[in-house]
């Protein structure tokens, strides 16, 4: 009974530590992404990649759901212990639960989580890269267009100045 309590305490501590570590990593990535997105939105002043944002958000929600499932995986063990303690009777032996199914389920969840991180992680990174590349490309196009307009206006202004200068020169040559 003591071994089971110690094992449950250790599993709970491991789950909390993993969840906290994953949560910190997710929050730092989200903070970095938000800063980059705000900077790009301020540069271009347009709405960027809403479909890509939805895909990234959907992947984040799936990851959080997996972490929550793993965090809640051992809550049933507490209920089994409380039932075992409330067995009332003189000739009853305490129930020795078979936790092999629970361990098997935890192993399956760990395997699935590893699979999801290995398959969805690169996809999410690729989508994020595409999103940022799209935003940068759009920002560069906007800057290049404004530079083109500035150059055209400068040429037009100089052209009228050259025409005036040409008229003055022709008048001077006619007067001489």
pLDDT of residue 33: 74
> Each residue of 85-100: pLDDT tens digit?
555 555 666 677 788 8
Average of pLDDT values for 78-84? 57
Q: What is the dihedral of CA 98, 67, 13, 99, to 10 degrees?
A: 0
Average pLDDT, the chain: 79
pLDDT of residue 88: 57
Helix (H) / strand (E) containing 166: helix 100-175
């Amino acid at each position: 009974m003591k071994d089971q309590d110690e094992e449950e305490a250790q599993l709970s501590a491991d789950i909390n530590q993993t969840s906290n570590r994953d949560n910190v990593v997710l929050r730092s990535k989200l903070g970095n992404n938000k800063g980059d997105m705000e900077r790009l939105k301020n540069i271009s002043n347009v709405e960027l990649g809403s479909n890509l944002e939805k895909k990234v958000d959907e992947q984040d929600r799936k990851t959080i759901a997996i972490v929550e499932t793993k965090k809640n995986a051992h809550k049933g063990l507490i209920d089994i212990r409380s039932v075992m303690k409330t067995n009332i009777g003189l000739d009853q032996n305490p129930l020795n639960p078979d936790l092999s199914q629970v361990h098997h389920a935890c192993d399956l969840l760990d395997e699935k989580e590893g699979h999801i991180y290995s398959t969805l992680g690169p996809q999410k990174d690729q989508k994020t890269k595409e999103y940022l590349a799209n935003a940068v490309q759009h920002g560069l196009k906007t800057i290049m267009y404004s530079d083109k307009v500035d150059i055209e206006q400068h040429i037009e202004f100089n052209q009228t100045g050259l025409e005036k200068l040409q008229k003055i020169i022709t008048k001077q040559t006619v007067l001489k």
